[in-house]
Each structure stands twice: as structure tokens, then as C-alpha cells.
Amino acid sequence: MTNPAPTTTTAPPAGVDALIEAVLAGEHGPLPSGLTATSVFWIHHGTRLAGGDTTYLNQYVLVRLGGAFGGCAFEAGEIDPAICRDSSGAPLDVLLREAPRPLRIAALDAYLAFRHPHRDSAAEPVTLPAGTPEVRARARDAAIAGLLDIDRGAAVGLIGVVNPLVAAIRERGGAPLPCDFNLRTTQWGDPVTTDMHEVLERADAVVATGMTLSNGSFDTILDRCRTRGIPLVVYAQSGSAVARAFLGAGVTALSAEPFPFSQFSADPTILYRYRTAAPA
């Protein structure tokens, strides 16, 4: 089943900066200069799943625009909490032009989600069950791995490592090639490289986190997967509506999880899966 992104009259963006410029020019809807970021806030939390030895430390900056939220993870120390005071109530175009990159991505995400909410799209909604963090993480990562259409033994580049997703890729028949800036081994002792380019050359398919939008590596991943003609699956809490803009233009599938994210609830929550035709 194919779950297309909302249709637009504009050509697919070449990269994230080009998408921002198109939004600023009014090519995707109302001019951002006429919209206000009602609220800018951030969340800093840590998680250690039962049975694991890794503590995941995550920071998110979030933007509220009307009935939509946009979010983006960032590295520790990259922005300061004062940005919430300084940016709340700012015109959206100011954030898109002048803010630090994670806040620019969150503002862009809020705009695109405001224009086309995931809940109103043709995406496949997947309900994550109520339960412990471990139960919910396994269900989420199984849903992500379910977007892979691969032969058994295929090398799957995993850019942005979480242990349950490593396990889910193996259960899908893939051989993970984990890459992360902050981890050195997986829970099972698999080496984790920091060399994204090596992974992109070896992989038969790539699964990348929305965090790549924040650190600026998304365009490189997108371009290499386009050039090599290999599938690119994005799993996005960060910039889920931003990644959606590249469906069919390098991104072949997307697991979109808009705020509030699954780790902040023990109740059932929904993520949205999009698929396009695989590259030739």
C-alpha cells in the first residue's frame, strides 16, 4: 500500500535549505511572516531501558503553531534554555531565517504539520500499545523495521542507533550497519561506527533518524541514497513533517511520530507510516 504525502504544485525540494526557502517564498502555503510561534519550549530527558546498559540522553526544542507542534532533537549545549523566552511569540519567518538550526527545523516542521497534519493524511496510522517503555519501544521499532522491503541478509545502514531498532532490523532479516556519534557498541557488542560515509557506501538500504535533519547530515544521506538508488527509510520524531516533504524524492518510507512522542506516555499513541514505490 502506498501512502503519499500531501500533494503540492511545487517541485520536490533538493534539500532542507531549499525547502525552507520555498516555504519563506509562500510556495507551500501562507507566508510565514503572517504566522506566530505561539510557544517555544524544550525537553531534556534520559532513558535507560530494562536489560540495557545505555542511557539515552535527548534534548528537543519544540514550536507550537496553531493546532500543530514541530520538534527537533539537538546535541547537548547546542542551544540554551533562554531561547524559549526569546523565541516564544516570534514571527515564524524570523525563526526560519535566523534561529539556530534545530529551532529552524522545529519551526519548519510546525509549519508543514500546520498545513497538513499527519492525522488528516493518507498515512497508515499505527497504534502503539499501552505499557512499559520497553513494550512501547519494541512496538515502535518493529513498526519502523516493517517499512523495510529487503532480502534476507541485506546490509541495512542504521544512522542513529537505538538498541530495539537494531533487534527489529535483525528480526526483519537485515544485517545492521550501526552508525552513531554518541555510541560505541550496541547492547550486544556490535561495533558502532561514526563514519556515515562508509555505511552509505556498503548499505543495501538505509534507515536514518530525524536527528539527521538537526545535525545537517540529512541532505548528504538523501543525495547518496538517490545516487545509489537504494531505499531510504526515515524514522522521525524530529522533523517528521519535514522528512515527509522528501517522500518520493529520495525518501522511500517514513515513520512519522509527531509530538507528544511515545516515550512521554504509557497510554496508546499513534505513529504514521508512509510508503512510496521503491527506487528502480
Euclidean distance between CA atoms 246 and 5, whole angstroms? 9
Over residues 148-176, mean pLDDT: 94
pLDDT tens across 203-235, in order? 999 999 999 999 999 999 999 999 999 999 999
Over residues 164-177, mean pLDDT: 94
Instruction: Write down the pLDDT at residue 56.
Output: 75
Instruction: Write down the pLDDT at residue 9.
Output: 46
Radius of gyration (Cα) for the chain, nearest Å?
A: 18
Tell me the HSE value of 81 on the side-chain side, using a 13 A CA sphere: 2
Give the N- to C-terminal CA distance of the chain in Å, as an integer: 17
pTM: 0.92
Residue 107 near residue 18, CB atoms below 8 Å: no
Lowest mean pLDDT among 49-58, 161-170, 217-226: 49-58
- Band (pLDDT 50/70/90 cuts) for residue 277 is low
Question: How many C-beta atoms lie closer than 10 Å to residue 44's C-beta?
Answer: 10
- Band (pLDDT 50/70/90 cuts) for residue 11 is low
pLDDT of 279 > 50? The answer is: no
pLDDT of 182 > 90? The answer is: no
- Reduced 3-state DSSP string for the chain: CCCCCCCCCCCCCCCHHHHHHHHHCCCCCCCHHHCECCEEEEEEEEECCCCCCCCEEEEEEEEEECCEEEEEEECCCCCCCHHHHHHCCCEHHHHHHHCCHHHHHHHHHHHHHHHCCHHHCCCEEEEECCCCHHHHHHHHHHHHHCCCCCCCCCEEEEECCCHHHHHHHHHCCCEEEEECCCCCECCCCCECECCHHHHHHHCCEEEEECHHHHHCCHHHHHHHHHHHCCCEEEEECCCHHHHHCCECCCECEEEECCCCCHHHCCCCEEEEEEECCCCC
Lowest mean pLDDT among 13-22, 31-40, 44-53, 237-246: 44-53
Residue 206 near residue 254, CB atoms below 8 Å: no
Instruction: Write down the pLDDT at residue 237.
Output: 96
Between 280 and 169, the higher pLDDT residue: 169
Alpha carbon of 140 to those of 53, 55, 94, 151: distances in Å? 20, 18, 35, 22
pLDDT tens across 113-149, in order? 999 999 999 999 999 999 998 899 899 999 999 999 9
Backbone angle region of 29, left / alpha / beta, with phi > 0 → left and psi within -120 to 50 → alpha: left
β-sheet with 68-74: strand ranges across: 39-47, 56-65, 68-74
- Band (pLDDT 50/70/90 cuts) for residue 24 is very high
Mean pLDDT of the chain: 92
Between 77 and 226, the higher pLDDT residue: 226
Instruction: Write down the pLDDT at residue 50.
Output: 78
Lowest mean pLDDT among 11-15, 176-180, 187-191, 246-250: 11-15
Grid cell digits, residue 190: 556490535
